[in-house]
Amino acid sequence: MTYIELSAWFVGVAVVAAAVLSVVAGRNGAHLGAIAATVVVLFLLTAVFDTVMIATGLFHYSPDHLLGVHIGLAPLEDFAYPLAGAVLLPTLWAALRARRRARAGLRGAEEDPS
């Protein structure tokens, strides 16, 4: 399996999970601007810090399994992980907040005698 195949599966699972969590949280894309801004920042940080880490020899990739496209020294495949995190984590956060609000609402309804 190549790194791009692994990355595609990783991002695919994150997108599907984010879609499901968005439905659970009752959000229909209201946070897309925040996700886009997060992706831009994470991509910049990934380009800079992965380039530094690869340049210092902290890790390396087998060139046989890469597409060959690099941003700095960071292979394109390295950008899948921040993309998946930027898509999945805000929707997970929203789903957990919605769940907590629903539980608090249920507790409030149980305590309210009216």
Q: With a cut of 60, say whether residue 93 has pLDDT above it.
A: yes
The pLDDT assigned to 26 comes to 75
The pLDDT assigned to 46 comes to 96
Is 24 or 12 the better-scoring residue by pLDDT? 12
User: pLDDT per residue over 78-92, tens digit each?
Assistant: 999 999 989 888 888
* CB within 8 Å of 85: residues ≥ 6 apart: 14, 42
DSSP, residue by residue, 32-74: HHHHHHHHHHHHHHHHHHHHHHHHTTS----GGGS-S-EETTE
Torsion of CA 90, 95, 97, 103, to 10 degrees: -170
User: pLDDT per residue over 34-92, tens digit each?
Assistant: 788 889 999 999 999 999 999 999 988 888 888 889 999 999 999 999 999 898 888 88
Residue 75, beta-bridge partner list: 70
